[in-house]
Structure 1
Amino acid sequence: MQKPEFPCLADTVDRLQILGADENLSSKQLGRAIATDPALAAAVIYHATHIRHRHLDNPINNLRQAAMMLGVTTVQDLAKSLPIADKHFSDGPREHYHALMGHAALGGMLGLAVARERRDLEPGEVALASLLFPLGMLALWAVSPTEMETLSNLLGQPGVQAQEAEYIVFGTGIEDAGRTLAEAWKMPELLCRALEPTNALEPRALGVMLAGKVAWHAVSRWNNEGLISDLRLMASYLGLNQSGLADLVDECIEEFNEHCDTYGLAPLPLLKHVPFQEIRPRPPAFCLAPQSDVCARVERRLEAFNRNDAPAILESCIYVLHRGLGLNRVIFARMEQQGEPVPSLIADSVIGTDYEPDFNRFRLRLEGGHLFCRLMAKPTAFWLKGREQKAAWDLLPSEVASLIGTEQFLACSLFVNGTAKGMIYADRRHPACGIDEATFRNFKRICQQTVKALSRDPPLPNPDAQTART
């Protein structure tokens, strides 16, 4: 897909024709109309960003800017150039796609509300990034509707996690695809940053992520795992209590419900009517299986790297632990001090956690003698097998235990030439997908290969080649 040409809503062209007849139409009104159709919004932003005579130092960050630049006639032409969802999809995919459009539209509304609550200087920028946050899903529905229908049906089964289902169907996470497309299409910077999970530590990017997550929970009628942890994070982020958060979210939902039938949705229930208690985790429908071919391929790659390839080494490490060993969530947390008296471990690279912004905000101060302080004291690989390891369990920081939600995990401190660089953490999310001796043994081996690669000297220049060039 060379540019965003997603199927638009059936009534979009007609609504724009009516707006175009209004001589007093403002760019703000036009921007609002565009925001009701995420497919059109993506096309408009792409077109405004790539217009030939635009001043290159003035990025397009919101729909009002784009509407002002293009004008209603150009927006109408863009809408007419897009396929129509009702004609593009058969019944099943059409229903799922319309619901996704509703999810995106509500995300944009929540993004605007979040930005205003935080007194953001550019609320329209946050709203646009939130609107287009499901960019990868929109693109995959446009080009791979059969596979997306398979994914949707898979997600409808009890105990199926979105991240694992995406890897089964596509071999990658959908947010990975969205981030790749957003960068290739030169979409707004905030959107690109919000699609990188580790940027959950950045306040504005986190706001976009949370708007998208809460919109997803709402369209799913508040029935997804992780709901309460996401709501708590959003309340903390906004400095609101439970009631205040419900008021903010419900104001958006009430506005959305006025035209929810546009997306084939029944009115969404208000958050204030939802019990504030975590949904009981369902046993996983399946566990990720090890893939020996992936392990062999990536381990060969690690053997070819040297210390100049540090980012690629760490990305390869967490990738092979996830895809090769079948560990669901993997983090490389770098050691950082930044002038503080106490160093911290901070999430730097993650995989398997696209839908867990709280997890991606991992940050832990190395003080007080807790378990991770001890692990970072020397090169160590460790397997926490559960509460029965009482001495180790009692050293686990309570905030980490609450965050990970599992009693088993693997960890390895990475030291390069005697200097602590960080830690690899990995788990299988649910106790039903347990860790065994073979997994721990392979985990240690891969971490050792990672340290060797980070320590390896680059090859010396070939003197014969230099002589030939001169």
Structure 2
Amino acid sequence: MTLPPPPFLTRPERDLRGWMARFDPDALPVLAETAVMLETWRANEDAVDAHLMTQTIVRDPLMTLKLFAQVARTTRRRSWDDARGDAETVTAALVMLGIGPFFRHFGPQAVAESWLCTTPGALDGFMAVLERSRRAAAFALAFAVHRLDHDAAVLHEAALLHDFAELLLWLQAPTLAQAVAHRLRTEPGLRSLQAQQELLNIALPDLQHALMEAWRLPSLLVRATDDRHLEDPQVRNVTLAIRVARHSAHGWDDAALPDDVRDIADFLHLSEEPTRRLLHEIDTADVD
């Protein structure tokens, strides 16, 4: 569905509260491929189920956010005791919501790619974050499966959503997102949190955590994306996946990768050479 984006923000909000007010999960666009599949399914609703729909939704962090937020609102209206622990995966959320109610709530969706196509460089920046998130999700899932973690699907989704605030920044304020990216590219050693604080008046992880709490995303998902809890093996699973996805985004010769390989090998109880092979196998398997 082609809808114009809201007016882009060109000056940063003053504080976290101002930034939070900019985002409504219902107003978020989705990826073009997701929008097309939703309309295909809508035309033949009786032939689709939660497992089929999950295959597309788990590749789209925006649609994943919208789904979890809607399930939280629905369960809260039903006055269930604890909505946050009931649907920790996309499949569970779809089952809880129901296929019919899903399509009644989610009509034709705006498309993220269309929002950004008129701002030079914005779509490239957005897609780079999306690709990194998808690769991180693949790494996180593989690490969790290797560790026999029963929450592997949740950790896959946690890695996919780990940087969703950066995606939202590109969608709402592409020129500010470009400014942050430019600072980081041209000032080696500058920490991303410092650049964000100076240019946006907030740190994106703080915005992300606040939105996840406000939208009542599943508590395990919220915790697994919180890098402050590295003593938790599930958080470390996600963090290591994010690290290797970020450092290998432009190839496997980044100077930080040897440290990543060593830490992942220790985490998975492997030696370093099998770990390198595993990482390459995961990355190759994730290529469409």
Q: TM-score, normalised by structure 2?
A: 0.79
Per-residue CA deviations over 1:56-87 (Å, capped at 9, x if unaligned) read 43522111101222344555566655431222
* CA apart distance, 1:156: 2.4
Given the alignment of the two structures, is residue 169 of structure 1 paired with residue 199 of structure 2, yes or no? yes
Which structure 1 segments of 5+ residues have no match?
Answer: 259-470
Larger RCO (alpha carbons 8 Å, 6+ apart) = 2
Is this contact kept in 2: 1:130–1:191, CA < 8 A? no
Name stretches of at least 5 consecutive residues in structure 2 with no aligned partner: 1-21
Q: CA distance change for structure 1 residues 254 and 14 in 2, over 3 Å: closer, same or farther?
A: same
Q: Is the 8 A contact 1:61 1:128 kept in 2?
A: no
Distance 1:215 1:80, change over 3 A: farther
Residue number in structure 1 paired with 2:3: none
Q: 1:228 to 1:171 in 2, by over 3 A?
A: farther
Which has the higher Rg, Structure 1 or Structure 2?
1
Aligned CA distance change for structure 1 residues 56 and 125 (closer, same or farther; 3 Å): farther
1 CA distance for matches of 2:266 and 2:244? 14
Q: Answer whether contact 1:35 1:105 (CA < 8 A) is retained.
A: no
Partner of 1:116: helix, strand, or coil?
A: helix
Please say if 1:53 is aligned against 2:78: yes
What aligned pairs does 1:418-429 form with structure 2 within 5 A after superposition? none
Q: Deviations over 1:408-448 (max 9, x none)?
A: xxxxxxxxxxxxxxxxxxxxxxxxxxxxxxxxxxxxxxxxx
1:376-413: per-residue Cα shift (whole Å, max 9, x none)?
Answer: xxxxxxxxxxxxxxxxxxxxxxxxxxxxxxxxxxxxxx
Alignment of 1:290-309 (within 5 A): none
Does 1:88 find its partner at 2:119?
Answer: no
Counterpart Cα distance in 2 of 1:145 and 1:172: 16
Richer in strand (by share): 1
Equivalent residue letter for 1:97: F
Per-residue CA shift, 1:330-371, capped at 9, x if unaligned? xxxxxxxxxxxxxxxxxxxxxxxxxxxxxxxxxxxxxxxxxx
Q: Does 1:34 align with 2:57?
A: yes
Indicate the residue corresponding to 1:67 in structure 2.
94
C-alpha contact 2:87 2:96 (8 A) present in aligned 1: no
Alignment of 1:38-437 (within 5 A): 38-51=61-74, 52-53=77-78, 55-57=80-82, 58-72=85-99, 74-75=101-102, 80=107, 82-89=109-116, 90-157=119-186, 159=188, 160-222=190-252, 224=254, 226-258=256-288
Contact 1:40 1:78 in 2 (8 A): no
Which moved further from structure 2: 33-42 or 99-108?
99-108
- The answer to whether the Cα contact below 8 Å between 1:6 and 1:39 also exists between their aligned partners in 2 is yes
Q: Is the 8 A contact 1:8 1:40 kept in 2?
A: yes
Is the contact between residue 59 and residue 134 of structure 2 (CA under 8 Å) also seen in structure 1? yes
Contact 1:176 1:195 in 2 (8 A): no
1:127-157 deviations in whole A, cap 9, x for unaligned? Answer: 1111111122122223222211111222222
1:11-59 deviations in Å (ceiling 9; x for gaps): 2221233345385534222112101111111111111122133744352
User: 1:133–1:191: 8 Å Cα contact kept in structure 2?
Assistant: no
1:24 and 1:248 map into 2 onto residues whose CA distance is 37
Question: How many pairs were matched up?
Answer: 258
Q: For the structure 1 residues 217 and 7, does the alpha-carbon distance in structure 2 shift closer, same or farther, using more than 3 Å as the test?
A: farther
The structure carrying a bigger helix percent of its residues is: 2
One-letter amino acid of the counterpart of residue 123, structure 1? A
Q: TM-score, normalised by structure 1?
A: 0.50
Say if 2:132 and 2:245, in contact at 8 Å, map to a contact too: yes
1:3 is matched by which residue type in structure 2? D
Report if aligned partners of 2:126, 2:170 keep a CA contact under 8 Å in 1: yes
Q: Which amino acid aligns with 2:34?
A: T
Counterparts of 1:174 and 1:225 in 2: how far apart (Å)?
25
CA distance in 1, matches of 2:73, 2:271: 43
Cα distance in 2 between the residues matched to 1:216 and 1:78 = 35
3-state SS, counterpart of residue 258 of structure 2: helix
Deviations 1:204-234 (A, max 9, x none): 1111112222222233434655333233212
**Residue 92 of structure 1, CA deviation:** 0.7
Distance 2:270 2:120 in 1: 41
Residue 88 of structure 1 and its aligned partner are, at CA, apart by 1.0
Structure 1's 77 and 83: CA in aligned 2 closer, same or farther, altered over 3 A? farther
> CA–CA distance in 1 between the matches of 2:262 and 2:217?
30
Please report the RMSD computed on the Cα atoms of aligned residues, expressed in angstroms. 2.5
Contact 1:129 1:188 in 2 (8 A): no
